[in-house]
Amino acid sequence: LGTCQLAPQDGMSVVYAVLHATLGILIPVPNIVVIIVAYKLIKAKRAKGYVFIINLAVADLLVGLMCVVETLDDLYDGDFDKNLTFCLLRICFTISPCVGSVLTLLLISLDRWLAVTRPLHYHKTVTNRTVSAALAALWGLSFSVGNLPLIAPQLQQTNYTGVCGLLYSTKNQYLYIICFVVFMPVFLTLICAQILLGRTAHLQRQRIRQVSVGPAPPRSADLRHFKALRTVLVVIVCFSVSWGPYYMAGLVQASCARCHLKALLRDELFLLGELNSLLNPLIYAF
């Protein structure tokens, strides 16, 4: 292995290094705060649903860790990109938290659905065992998807040129699997779940008003449910805006041989996706 030496820098490499370093510093702080606050709420209220908030913050912390790796890649011209296996490991630790985040949103939506529609049975259903099993399955699936090119070598690029990026190191079929087998079904489920949750919460609120004499004051439980639904919806929209352009551009590049979007995917759009891990804890703060 060669020694790592500072690469001859052009202006954009320095800019990307600074941006990755900034995200690598900023992402951990609010996510650690979210983990601490959610843990205290679990202890105080015995609400298992906050574990999923912690899980989302952990996924974002992993993205922050990868920002540090990306900073080193921007600054040093060593063996970071030359080895395909090392590149695929970087892809894994980028894709896996991304998949973990969107699957966590699905679990949060399911948790809210149980809290709204089955409040009397919620604590019997959402137990330590079911939460642990759900998280184990989530991360097992996330790392399986992330490591798929290593598990199935036929998904690896045969003419790897030493430039580490999703479409540089893997074949188009891997991107299709991520988009059409994982993200699209999950997002469609999330959209349907949010519509059903909003409708159910609204109908429950109307029933309470009908059986109440005079105007019914909003209950704290109702307000918590509505705030939780709103927060999850904002997080879903934020995830779509952050990572959506990356995967949409990837699909365009995969289906268009004349397009030249690989550099855009590897740099600007990838940074936009990483920014989501900074926005998530800020959304929960408000």
Domains, the chain, in order of start with CATH, read 11-285 (1.20.1070.10)
pLDDT surpasses 50 at 97? yes
pLDDT surpasses 90 at 55? yes
CA dihedral 46, 48, 53, 57 (to 10 degrees): 90
Give residue 258's pLDDT: 87
Q: Please report, as a single letter, which amino acid is at residue 130.
A: T
In this prediction, residues 21-42 reach a mean pLDDT of 91
Higher local confidence (pLDDT), 111 or 136: 136
* Radius of gyration for the chain, computed over Cα atoms and rounded to the nearest angstrom: 21
Nearest-angstrom CA–CA distance, 261 and 252: 8
pLDDT surpasses 50 at 39? yes
Nearest-angstrom CA–CA distance, 133 and 129: 6
Give residue 6's pLDDT: 45
State which of 103-107, 138-142, 272-276 shows the largest mean pLDDT.
138-142
Higher local confidence (pLDDT), 63 or 224: 63
pLDDT surpasses 80 at 215? no
Q: Which helix (H) or strand (E) holds 6?
A: none
